[in-house]
Amino acid sequence: MNSGQRPVAVRVPASTANLGPGFDVLGLALNLHLEAGFGNAPAEANEADENHPLTVAFRHCGGKQDLWVRSQMPMGKGLGFSGAARVAGCVLAHAEKHGAEKKAFDDAKLEILRTASELEGHPDNAAASMFGGFVASVDGFAVRIPTPLDPAIIVWVPQQQTSTKESRAKLPSEIKFQDAVFNVGRTALLVAALAAGDVRALSIATSDRLHQDLRFTKAPDSKLALNAAVDAGAWCAWLSGSGPTIAAMVDRDSSQRIADALPTNGAKMVLSIAQSGAELFAI
């Protein structure tokens, strides 16, 4: 650690992206977290090597120090691990230059998001990890979607992993006009339903014609899990990012019953929305 540099840490939430029709635009922060920093590493933390997306982002932004990391997030499962790590790396590079002062960090958030999104290739996961809650992000801008809803989010996580890069490469370069209209309409309806707290519209609003069915061909068990969640009473369900994890939005009072109805060949977690995004603090 450089002489006089105070130890700093950042805490960043996981995320589920697309939310059905909102491909590369919509994300939701979840209460699983990645923590990282420089100096005074916690005993249970690991050193982040130079190939870790955290360190790659940190170096890209001019960071010089060695980093530590600890994470509750599974990798390669569609819960935004790489997006959270890249946000954390960019935040720590900002802190190395400017310290952990809150106003300076708040003023820099959109610029940090733009850099993390460029490294990630899409902004949906990074925006949710940066700002928390439901977030829409396009062309370097990010806006939280206000909602009166306070659901549980059930995630069903199978053993297999998914490479986002490989998954995206299998998506078509052109789509039918009616499919584009279908997704634009559902995305608008989803944002409106969240803002209004209208759970009746969520099932229709999270349907998709751009990516989910193609990805389900490689993860048929994920499709079965999605159908099981909806059949058990979930308000809606979607393929989390590129999968293979499934996320379902449910009434809190029904969350354990619905989780119990999901297939047994995957891990189940009942989570909450992370209302706070990336948090920076001196240690």
15-39 confidence digits (pLDDT tens): 999 999 999 999 999 999 999 999 9
Q: Determine how many CB atoms are found less than 10 A away from the CB of residue 268.
A: 18
189 three-class SS: helix
Q: For 127-135, what is the mean pLDDT?
A: 98
**Residue in the block written with tokens 């009434």:** 251
Confidence band of 235 (pLDDT split at 50, 70, 90): very high
DSSP 8-class letter at 22: -
Q: Which residues of the chain are in CATH 3.30.70.890 domains?
A: 152-271
Return the CATH fold of 8-146+274-282: Ribosomal Protein S5; domain 2 (3.30.230)
| Res 283 pLDDT > 90 | no
Contact present, 192 and 217 (Cβ < 8 Å) = no
**Residue in the block written with tokens 């209209």:** 181
Which alpha helices (DSSP H) does the chain contain, by range?
53-60, 81-98, 102-120, 124-131, 164-169, 177-196, 202-205, 212-216, 220-231, 255-260
What pLDDT shows up at residue 40? 86
List pLDDT tens digits, range 35-58.
999 998 998 999 999 999 999 999
Amino acid of residue 264: T
Return the CATH fold of 152-271: Alpha-Beta Plaits (3.30.70)
Q: Of 81-85, 108-112, 164-168, which range is least confident?
A: 164-168
| Res 4 pLDDT > 60 | no
Residue 155 forms beta bridges with which residues? 247, 269
pTM comes to: 0.93
Confidence band of 164 (pLDDT split at 50, 70, 90): low
Burial class (CB in 10 A: 0-12, 13-18, 19+), 247: buried
Q: Which residues of the chain are in CATH 3.30.230.10 domains?
A: 8-146+274-282
Q: Helix, strand, coil % (nearest 5) of the chain?
A: 40, 25, 35
